[in-house]
Structure 1
Amino acid sequence: MAPAKGDELAPLEVWLTRSDLVRYAGASLDFNPIHWNQRFATEVGLPDVIAHGMLTMAVAGRVVTQARLGTLVSYSARFTRPVVVPDDDKGALVELTAKVTDVAEGGDLTVTITAKAGGRTVLGKAVAVVRP
């Protein structure tokens, strides 16, 4: 059965650890110390080390791609709040939900994503378009 407007996708929970941040820094070449140095992060006013915004966005997109609705043709989001990653074995839990908010005449699906960490929304206007 084809997805319909209002359908909710299966939720996803992803843990981000400091180790994930180091690996992402190496892959993206983004070695900004706010992503790995607690002293530096707190000196510039952050509560602790924070995840890279693009890593957070990529993780959030997984809630759509795991649903296997088709080809992801566009995806955008605004960074509204950082994901604070503590220095422990668990890391930060990113909770993801998504809902089909439109089905275009040609069949493309618009999916709105909600990403939360620490009970607070971390991405705004997160929208993906999927072509079945």
Structure 2
Amino acid sequence: MTAKISYADVEVGTELPQQSFSVTRATLVRYAGASGDFNPIHWNEKFAVEVGLPDVIAHGMFTMAEAVRVVTDWTGDPGAVVEYGVKFIKPVVVPNDDKGAVVEVGGKVAALLEDNRVRVDLTATSEGEKVLGMARAVVQLA
């Protein structure tokens, strides 16, 4: 299966719809259960502070997964993502309240590649600060 977006319909600079993702402590507990990553920096505030963090932080892989949802929602097919990578710049701090943290993600077609593929560059921020760098996905379009 390939993306529902046609290669002919995109150009360099095409913007993907921006999305916001809420991250609460409950989200982190569910992710820990699914991933098996029970590192206390993701759920124990006292431990996180003792090791030099400002508070509990979201799992890096969780943040990475949420960011690529902008691409998979745009394509309509998660299998259209053929390559994806990021550099972790800053952790997403998740306070112990009902609101938690918010990760804002946007994307833009940065390059048209061969074989109906495009490179999408993503921006991901939390509290106005960049949390992922060099976030790039190569996507196979129809």
TM-score (structure 1 length as normaliser): 0.97
One-letter code of the match for 2:73? Answer: Q
Stretches of structure 1 that go unaligned for 5 or more consecutive residues are none
Q: Determine if the alignment matches structure 1 residue 97 to structure 2 residue 106.
A: yes
1:66-110: per-residue Cα shift (whole Å, max 9, x none)?
A: 112651111000111000000011110100010000011322010
Aligned residues: 132
Corresponding residue number in structure 2 for 1:122: 131
Match of 2:29 among 7, 22, 27: 22
CA shift, 1:63, in A, is 0.8
Secondary structure in 2 matching 1:66: helix
1:27-80: per-residue Cα shift (whole Å, max 9, x none)?
A: 111000000000000011100000000000000001111112651111000111
Secondary structure in 2 matching 1:9: strand
Q: CA RMSD in A?
A: 1.0
Match of 1:81 among 75, 90, 98: 90
Corresponding residue number in structure 1 for 2:115: 106
Distance across 1 between alignment mates of 2:46 and 2:119: 41
Distance across 1 between alignment mates of 2:93 and 2:122: 20
Amino-acid identity (%)? 55
| Greater displacement, 17-26 / 60-69 | 60-69
TM-score (structure 2 length as normaliser): 0.90
Runs of 4+ in structure 1 off by over 3 angstroms are none
